[in-house]
Amino acid sequence: MPPIHQQILLIGAGELGSAFLPHLSTLPNTHITVGVRSVAKYTHLTNPNVSLLSLDITGPSQELAQTFAKYDILISATGFGQDAGAVTKLAKEALEAGKLRKEAGTSKLWFFPWQWGVDYDVTGDGQGLMPLFGEQVGVRELLRAEAKESHVKWTIVSTGIFMSFLFEQLWGIVDRDGDKITVRALRDWNHRVTVTDVNDIGNVLARIVTGDAEADDRVVYCAGDTVSYAQLADIIQRVKKQDVKREQWSVQHLESELAKDPSDTLKKYRLVFAKDGVYWEKESTVNHKLNISLIDVGTYARKILAG
Ligand SMILES: NC(=O)c1ccc[n+]([C@@H]2O[C@H](COP(=O)([O-])OP(=O)(O)OC[C@H]3O[C@@H](n4cnc5c(N)ncnc54)[C@H](OP(=O)(O)O)[C@@H]3O)[C@@H](O)[C@H]2O)c1
């Protein structure tokens, strides 16, 4: 076997992390360590290129930084369920790990923070609705200001909403009630949303890690599809070969719904998704530039709705 020249630490193996693994683990001369809290839950993921490490990102920063410093690439896929401050803590630990690597005379740490989502530079904190989104902006500012000095290279991959989430019943945009389907537009029918399947995010990530894309110290974009809500309704109508009910949730409607229930996270999300920073042109994406074919909304809809 050729020598391993690249060590990746992937934190989290949920919906996203486990979709990354098949792509990362086929990279040549690369070993993937998956950091999770309960190793026993993930033994099925191991193979000669993939091992597990018991790791809790809520742990002491100094220890975590020392662990991260042993790896060339650090990828966070730890999900939404973190406490406030978790993404900032991790970014600071990555910067500390970079410094340790510099002292040891090793290459920069390449850090992919947990920002697999919207364009936080544009959404900001959603006019105060989404403190986590605001914190993500802070992570970007921190990396922009300190990464170079800290011997860290960083890449943020903006993916839009996960394809699976667009069709989640609880999201309320594609609402299935027996045979009846209602498609709802956030803001209006011309408003758009970018979506990417998690498996495809893994594919794009692996190409970035390979060095195929210009991705150093910047935000890059990928998109399985960018569709208007009118196009989404048309696609579903075509796939199901039936009329779908169309309902528009204007910003005003979403605001009054949230006012009834001010702590409802989903209602906050819908309002943020009715605004800007949640879609981009496919032509601006890494997948377009590298000619990587990703699953689009029509193909995904056929997969899960046809029949
Ligand atoms: N752009 C988007 O649309 C978007 C972005 C992100 C997430 N989401 C949504 O959020 C959901 C989750 O996706 P996901 O893959 O990001 O997250 P996930 O499925 O919840 O998985 C999180 C992973 O991180 C691990 N983890 C959690 N806390 C940890 C800690 N303190 N230390 C170490 N590891 C820890 C978990 O391990 P344990 O087994 O220890 O819990 C798990 O393996 C999906 O439903 C998705 O639709 C959407």
Q: Is 29 in the pocket of ligand 1 (CB under 6 A)?
A: no
Tokens describing residue 215: 């991705």
Q: Which atom of ligand 1 is nearest to the CA of 77?
A: 16
Report the distance separating Cα 68 and Cα 98, nearest Å: 8
Is pTM beyond 0.75 here? Answer: yes
CA angle (226, 232, 234) in 5-degree steps: 135
8 A C-beta contact, residue 123 and residue 133: yes
Residue 99's pLDDT is what? 98
Q: Is 37 in the pocket of ligand 1 (CB under 6 A)?
A: yes
For 46-105, write each residue's pLDDT tens digit.
999 999 999 999 999 999 999 999 999 999 999 877 889 999 999 999 999 999 999 999
Long-range pairs of 288-295 with CB within 8 A, sequence gap ≥ 24: 288/223, 289/213, 290/204, 290/207, 290/212, 290/213, 292/200, 292/203, 292/204, 292/207, 294/196, 294/197, 294/200, 294/203, 294/204, 294/222, 294/223, 294/224, 294/225, 295/163, 295/197, 295/199, 295/200, 295/224
Q: Is 36 in the pocket of ligand 1 (CB under 6 A)?
A: yes
CA angle (142, 147, 152) in 5-degree steps: 135
Q: Which atom of ligand 1 is nearest to the CA of 15?
A: 15
Which mean pLDDT values do the consecutive 10-residue runs of the chain (307 residues) have? 84 97 96 97 95 97 98 94 92 98 98 97 95 96 98 98 97 95 98 98 98 97 98 97 97 97 96 97 97 98 88
Task: State the DSSP H helix or E strand holding residue 39, giving kind and residue range, or none if neither.
Answer: none
- In DSSP terms, 175 is beta-bridged to 182
Report the distance separating Cα 237 and Cα 86, nearest Å: 41
Residue 213's pLDDT is what? 96
Class of the CATH-defined domain 162-194+225-278+291-305: alpha beta
Q: Is 161 in the pocket of ligand 1 (CB under 6 A)?
A: yes
Q: What is the CATH number of domain 6-158?
A: 3.40.50.720
Residue 1's pLDDT is what? 60
Enumerate the domain spans of the chain.
6-158, 162-194+225-278+291-305
Sheet of 225-228, strand order = 161-162, 192-196, 225-228
Q: Which atom of ligand 1 is nearest to the CA of 42?
A: 39
Report the distance separating Cα 216 and Cα 213, nearest Å: 9
All residues at 6 or more sequence positions from 227 whose CB lies less than 8 Å from its CB, including other chains: 192, 193, 195, 235, 297
Ligand 1 binding pocket mutation candidate from 9, 165, 193 (most atoms within 8 A of CB): 165
Residue 74's pLDDT is what? 98
Q: Is 163 in the pocket of ligand 1 (CB under 6 A)?
A: no
Nearest C-alpha neighbor of 152 from the set 219, 217, 62: 217
Report the distance separating Cα 131 and Cα 186, nearest Å: 21
